[in-house]
Amino acid sequence: MIYTVTFNPSLDYIVQVEAFQTGRVNRTSSEQLLPGGKGINVSIVLKNLGIETTALGFLAGFTGKEIEERIREYGCRTDFTWLLKGHSRINLKLKSAIESEINGQGPDISEEALMNLYEKLSRLTDEDMLVLAGSIPASLPSSIYQQIMSRLTKKNLKIIVDASGDLLLQVLKYHPFLIKPNNHELSELFDIPLTKEEDYIACGLKLQEKGAKNVLISLAGAGAILITEQGEVIKSKAPKGKVVNSVGAGDSMVAGFITGYLETGNYGHALKMGIAAGSSSAFSSQLATKAEVTAMLEKMENKVV
Ligand SMILES: Nc1ncnc2c1ncn2[C@@H]1O[C@H](COP(=O)(O)OP(=O)(O)O)[C@@H](O)[C@H]1O
Ligand SMILES: O=P(O)(O)OC[C@H]1O[C@](O)(COP(=O)(O)O)[C@@H](O)[C@@H]1O
C-alpha cells in the first residue's frame, strides 16, 4: 500500500481575475474550490491512474470536513488524524496575467495528534511506500520529516519526500528513495539563482551526495531532469500546450513517476510518466485523469508534442 502524508491539507480556492490590480476591488471571471495539499494531490492522481493509496495527515474544522468529503469523492481511502482546534487552511491561487499563490499556515498540531500519526506509521511494512509531501504548520519544527524517517529506518520501505528548505535537507541522511525539488526550490536550497541545466544537475548531484537516492528536478514548462541512483542523468522536455491550471502539476508528476516506476522499474519510463501526468494536470482545470495521461504519453512517444 502507498501512504501519503499531508501535514497541512488545504482547500484550494482558485480564482481567475482578468486584469488583477492591487489596491482595487477585483472581480473574478471564474472560481473553483478543490481539495489540496501535496500528499492529497498525489493520492488523487494515483487513484486516477489506478493505484490505491491511503491519505494520512491532519484535518481540522469545517474546511477539514469539506476536504475529506471531496477526497473521498475521488474514491481515495483516507485515515486522517482530526485536530480538536482550528481549521484546515484555505489556499488562494490567483490567476491573472501571471499566477500568484497565498498559502496559509495551517492549524497547530498537538503532541497527541502527532503521536496518533506516528502510531499509524509504525504499522507500515517493508512492502509499503510512503510519500511525505508539502509544508508543515508553523508550530512544528522543521525536523519533523526527519523524525518520521528516523523512526522508520529499520524498515526497508521506499520514502518519497517533496518538500522545501530545511524540511528537505534534514531528511537526506535517511536516504529517501526520491526527492522532487522544482527549480525555484533548488535555487533556494543553495541560495544562488540557478538558470542553466548544468547548474541544476550539479546541485542535484550534491543532494544525492548528501543521501537522496533519486533526484527529480522539475522545471515547469521546460520539463524535468532525473538523476538516478545509478548516477544516470535523464532529461525530458515537457510537451507544449495551453496551461489552464498548474496547481498540482508537481504532485501529479510525483504520482506519475511512482506509477511508471511500479509498472516497469525503469527510471526512464518513470520520468516520462511523471512528465505526462504533470503536463496533463497543467493543461487541465482538474488533476490529470488516466485517459489524459495515456494520450499525453502516446503523443510524447510519437513526438507529436
Ligand atoms: N507550463 C507548463 N507546460 C508544460 N508542462 C508543465 C508546465 N508547468 C508544469 N508542467 C509539468 O508539470 C511538471 C511539474 O511542474 P513544476 O511547475 O516544475 O512543479 P511544481 O508544481 O512542484 O512547482 C513539469 O515537469 C511539467 O511536466
Ligand atoms: O504545503 P505547501 O508547500 O504550502 O503547498 C500546498 C499547495 O501545494 C499544492 O499541493 C500544489 O502543489 P504543486 O503545485 O507543487 O504540485 C496545492 O494543492 C496546495 O495549496
Cβ neighbours around 95 below 10 Å, total: 23
- 303 C-beta neighbours (distance < 10 Å), count: 7
CA of 12 from ligand 2 middle (Å) equals 9
**CATH number of the domain to which 72 belongs:** 3.40.1190.20
For residue 48, is it within any domain?
A: yes
d(CA 244, CA 280): 10
> pLDDT value at position 139?
85
Any domain includes 46: yes
Does any domain span residue 239? Answer: no
Whether residue 304 is predicted with pLDDT greater than 80 in this model: the reply is no
Tens digit of each residue's pLDDT (9 = 90 or more) over 84-123: 999 999 999 999 999 999 999 999 999 999 999 999 999 9
Q: Is residue 89 in a domain? A: yes
204 falls within a domain: no
Decide which of 15 and 138 is more confident: 15
pLDDT in tens, 195-233: 999 999 999 999 999 999 999 999 999 999 999 999 999
Best substitution site from 103, 160, 281, 285 to test ligand 2's pocket, by max atoms within 8 Å of Cβ? 103
Number of domains in the chain: 1
Higher pLDDT, 169 or 304: 169
CA of 5 to the centre of ligand 2 (A): 13
**Closest CA relative to residue 204, chosen from 223, 222, 181, 174:** 181
Substitution candidate for ligand 1 out of 187, 279, 283, 300 with most atoms within 8 A of CB: 279
Q: Is 223 in the pocket of ligand 1 (CB under 6 A)?
A: yes
| Cα angle: 296, vertex 159, 249; to 5 degrees | 30
pLDDT score, position 303 = 77
Contact 3, 128 (CB under 8 A): yes
> Could you tell me which of 263, 249, 262, 275 has the C-alpha nearest to residue 42?
249
Do residues 243 and 217 lie in contact, with contact meaning Cβ atoms separated by under 8 Å?
Answer: no
How far apart are the C-alpha atoms of 278 and 249, rounded to whole Å? 4
| Residue 60, in any domain of the structure | yes
Residues 6 or more apart in contact with residue 142 via CB below 8 angstroms:
136, 165, 166, 167, 170
User: What residue numbers bound the domain in which 101 lies?
Assistant: 1-19+30-140
Is residue 251 among the annotated active site residues?
Answer: yes
105 located within any domain? yes
**What distance in angstroms lies between residue 172's CA and the mean position of ligand 2's atoms?**
21
Residues 226 and 197: their CA atoms lie apart, in Å, by 12
- Residue to substitute in 42, 135, 185, 218 for testing ligand 1 pocket (most ligand atoms within 8 angstroms of CB): 218
Q: What global pTM score does this model have? A: 0.96
Return the pLDDT at 138.
86
Structure confidence at residue 159 (pLDDT): 98
Q: Which ligand is nearest to the CA of 241?
A: 1
Give the confidence band of 178 by pLDDT, cuts at 50, 70, 90: very high
Using one digit for the tens of pLDDT, what is the confidence trace for 227-280?
999 999 999 999 999 999 999 999 999 999 999 999 999 999 999 999 999 999
pLDDT, tens digit, 9 for 90 and up, residues 22-57: 999 999 999 999 999 999 999 999 999 999 999 999
Query: Does the beta carbon of 271 sit less than 6 angstroms from any atom of ligand 1?
Result: no
Ligand nearest, relative to CA of residue 92: 2
pLDDT exceeds 80 at position 305: no
Answer whether residue 52 is part of any domain.
yes
| 48 vs 293: CA distance, rounded Å | 10
The confidence score (pLDDT) of residue 302 equals: 85
Average pLDDT, rounded, for the chain: 96
Q: Is the CB of 245 under 6 A from ligand 2?
A: no
Nearest CA to ligand 1 atom 13: 278
